[in-house]
Amino acid sequence: MSLDELLFVLSLGFYIFYAQTRQQFRATLTPDVIIVLSFPSFLLLIGYLLAGQLGRGVPAWRRPMLTLKYLLLLTCIALLVGTGVYKSAMFRHETAPWRYIQDNALQEEIAVERLLDGQNPYAIDFLETDLERWSWNPPTYDFKGTEPPLSYEVNPALYHVAYLPFSILAHLPFRALSVALIGWYDARLLYFATYLASLTLGACMVRGHQLRLSWLAGVGLNPLLAFFVVEGRGDSVSLFLIALTLCLVQRNRAGWSAVALGLACATRHQVWFLVPFWMLYLYLDRREQGSAVGEAQRMVARHTAAAATVALLVILPFFAADPASFVDDTVGYLSGSA
């Protein structure tokens, strides 16, 4: 059994087990749904293993069997993760906006609406919105759609938008498309799209089909990542931008890589820690190409300035609109001083 086949077996088993034991998904991924999903998933796995054996046993079939393995694995990822996203979004749409969603996604949806109404999301609170109905300690999920009681604990998301502006702005095209097509929007549309794009970019950066398949199986079916998308956590957006940054710089597209890095830095604070390593990669890569020290340093400085410019173009309008509120939300709250 090859590495990719082993990872497919382990990841699929872990995914099904996690879906059964994770209380938050018992309403959307009910036992009957898990059974329905498990059957075609294991058929896809069996087909994947057979394709691997045939590809190794019959040299003439190696390439078509390799293509088949990609198709089977990607179908399994789309089936499992996509079904979780779809059912969670539909259950939420059929019950109440504050149900079957994380407060992170719900806050970003409301922030987009406020932004379209001309309000600064960092200068307002989220009282008397659907976010206030979101329970900080969620009750047992059911299918009745009844309103949960207001939590006795205060949810900080009612008063603070902790993430940076591009985490909100990234929703705009997806929201416009979704509202135009189906009349409503769920933030997981953006999260699922960027999750799939991250997988694709990661596979493009890995050399060799076995390592690419291993990446897709180990990451695409990893429940610790996939269920973040199902829950409605927005980390896949910054993950996509990081993957795009690395993919572009690997292909000697330093200028476009700087743009992607700037957008990533305007999405999550954690991305800032990537900047010095990105600069070091640019410098060492240019030196390996024969550039002098001074020339390599100027190139790094130029592209770093471009990345900073992109980030500031996104951040400064929100900061300028209300500096105190912006700093309070994105710095004070995270550092414990707000």
* Cα distance between residue 186 and residue 325, in whole Å: 27
Question: Which percentage of the chain shows pLDDT scores above 90?
Answer: 49
Residue 115, Cα to own-chain centre: how many angstroms? 22
Per-residue pLDDT tens digits for 143-153? 444 555 544 46
**291 is written with which tokens?**
């550039």
Question: DSSP string covering 276-312, please?
Answer: HHHHHHHHHHHHHTT--HHHHHHHHHHHHHHHHHHHH
Band (25; pLDDT cuts 50, 70, 90): low
pLDDT (average), residues 212-223: 90
Indicate the pTM of the whole model: 0.87
pLDDT, position 39: 81
pLDDT, position 193: 94
pLDDT, position 82: 87
pLDDT: is 227 or 297 the higher one? 297
Q: What are phi and psi of 247, to 5 degrees?
A: -65, -40
Per-residue pLDDT tens digits for 60-94? 778 888 899 999 999 999 888 888 888 888 888 88
Find all residues with CB under 8 Å of 171, minimum gap 6, and list them.
108, 109, 112, 185, 187, 190
Distances (CA, A) of 95 to 1, 88, 120, 192, 296: 45, 11, 29, 21, 57
Amino acid identity, position 232: G
**292 is written with which tokens?**
């002098």
Question: DSSP string covering 115-158, please?
Answer: HHTT--GGGS--TTSHHHHS-SS-----SS-PPPPPPSSPPGGG
Whose tokens are 């990537």? That residue is 274
Whose tokens are 């572009």? That residue is 248
Query: Which SS3 state, helix, strand or coil, does residue 335 take?
Result: helix
pLDDT, position 338: 58
* Cα distance between residue 268 and residue 227, in whole Å: 20
**17 is written with which tokens?**
């087990």
Per-residue pLDDT tens digits for 147-184? 555 444 678 888 989 999 999 999 999 999 999 999 99
Per-residue pLDDT tens digits for 241-300? 999 999 999 998 999 999 999 999 999 999 999 999 999 999 998 888 888 888 889 999
* Cα distance between residue 214 and residue 52, in whole Å: 13
Whose tokens are 């309403």? That residue is 27
pLDDT, position 192: 93
DSSP state, residue 100: S
* Mean of pLDDT over the chain: 86
* Cα distance between residue 202 and residue 211, in whole Å: 10
Q: Check: CB of residue 148 under 8 Å from CB of residue 135.
A: yes
Residue 334 host element (H or E): helix 333-335
pLDDT, position 53: 87
Domain ranges of the chain: 106-162+172-178
Residue 168 host element (H or E): helix 166-169
Per-residue pLDDT tens digits for 111-144? 999 999 999 999 999 888 888 888 765 444 444 4
243-250 LR contacts (CB < 8 Å, sep 24+) = 243/197, 243/198, 243/201, 243/202, 243/205, 244/197, 244/201, 245/274, 245/278, 246/201, 246/205, 247/201, 247/204, 247/205, 249/278, 249/281, 249/282, 249/285, 250/205
**233 is written with which tokens?**
């956590």
- Which residue in 187, 186, 213, 210 sits closest to 199, CA to CA? 213
